[in-house]
Amino acid sequence: MPRRSPRPVRAGPAGRQGHGPVGTLLITACPGPPTCSAVHTYLFVDGLDLIARTHDGATGGHPGRLLRPAGPLYPTDQARQVHVATHGQGPDAAPAVGIRIRLRGRTVVWDGLMYPDARDRIIEEVRFDAAQYLTEIERAYTRWGRGT
């Protein structure tokens, strides 16, 4: 079941192509047992659970892996594909949600997406202000990613 964001949903234009509006990232984590079978990350983009909306039944990666300093979610000038969720648990888990992340000036771009927004329009690309994005990753790592 998709988790609801603690922040209000802000719907934007379909596809977010070109130099569209800037999105907001919020990261939370499930603590694992007894709530879930394993610790995993939730990625909320503009208040919507990106992982659950992209692939039903997918589980976000462990916060210690996704959020670590210079880890997969940290943007670089060169675009790279990052798997942020799997389908299934353990060593047999298959990658379920992949996004392409790159840094363009002071904007972090996620593309290669395909999920419905609050109005069921397909989102293919999201842009974030680099300062807000990096602050959120660091905040989430401090809260959920350490000690792994």
Give tens-digit pLDDT for 60-118: 988 999 999 999 999 999 999 999 998 877 667 777 899 999 999 999 999 999 999 98
Give the residue, 39 or 80, on which the prediction is more confident. Answer: 80
pLDDT score, position 36 = 77
Residue closest to 47 by CA, chosen among 123, 100, 101: 123
Q: Between 86 and 139, whose confidence is greater?
A: 139
pTM, rounded to two decimals: 0.80
CA end-to-end span of the chain, whole Å?
A: 26
Residue 99 sits at the vertex; the CA angle it makes with 87 and 11, to the nearest 5 degrees, is 100
